[in-house]
Amino acid sequence: MNRLFVVNKPIFVSSNNYMYYIKRKYKTKKVGFSGTLDPFATGCLIVATGTFTKLFQYLKKEPKVYRATMWLGVESKSLDLENIVSISDTKELNLEEIREVLEWAKQKHTYYPPKYSAKKIDGKKAYELARNGIEAKLKPITTDVYDIKLINYNHPFLTFEISVSEGGYIRSIAQIIADRLNVKATLSALHRISEGKFFYNNQEPLNPYDYLKIEKNIFLGDFKALELGKKLKLDDFKIKKDGIYLVESKNFNAIIEIYKKKVSYRLNRLPKEYKWRQNLMQK
């Protein structure tokens, strides 16, 4: 079964473990997801089964929009609810000051990912090293904060909605905001609302070709050659500049790459929209 859809990941379950439930529900072994959510986080998680698991890198998944709640006066090793080390009273903040700091946060930020994250260091996940007391040397990353707005402030809880580029860590950005406000804080809740045009809608099947970030090219040659995976020529395509393209044939779709006047397959014999819909209806 080939299917692309969005699940609403529940709290306190890892993204990987949630896939066991998806496999049982849809009675399929080949399941994948994109954009890992922390166990304490909930919300939009893009899931694919079958052949569509190969399409994740070609999907447009930003901006990513989250709703986050900071718990002021709390310190945590993992910057969330899982590894709290202290809770203390803290002064109430001025609303105008909060809005000013959130406005300031709308920029490009370079920072270190959380030590308790799935980032790999020499083949091991950072959180595995952190749990064993091993100091991990993470490389800094850069995240664009496109927009951020205050949703609610009921001391000591501050809730905001934030739109960021792919690969950002909201736990770390919350720490940047807390430092600017001169308070200690950790995230007490995190919900991903959407990724690009992806949002939760009762796991309704989606047409993956409506969500690609690559351009469509027109194939001018013999469709049989394309569908059989034969060698392709640059003259077979309407667009000849370097790039990665979606190409439609009579029975299948393909993703090809043009580089230095040479054409190569990235993916071939992808099911066309009407075929995978028929498959789902039969299921």
Q: Compute the CA torsion angle 16, 17, 21, 27 (nearest 10 deg).
A: 50
> Under a CB-based contact definition with an 8 Å cutoff, are residues 176 and 157 in contact?
no
> Under a CB-based contact definition with an 8 Å cutoff, are residues 217 and 240 in contact?
no
Rounded Cα–Cα distance for residues 175 and 183 (Å): 9
Rounded Cα–Cα distance for residues 171 and 187 (Å): 6
Q: Residues 38, 89, 222, 242: which is the catalytic one? A: 38
Rounded Cα–Cα distance for residues 27 and 18 (Å): 14
Catalytic status, residue 38: yes
Backbone angles phi, psi at 46, to 5 degrees: -80, 125
In sequence order, which residues have a C-beta less than 8 Å from that of residue 14 and are 6 or more positions away?
A: 39
Query: Which active-site residues does the annotation give?
Result: 38
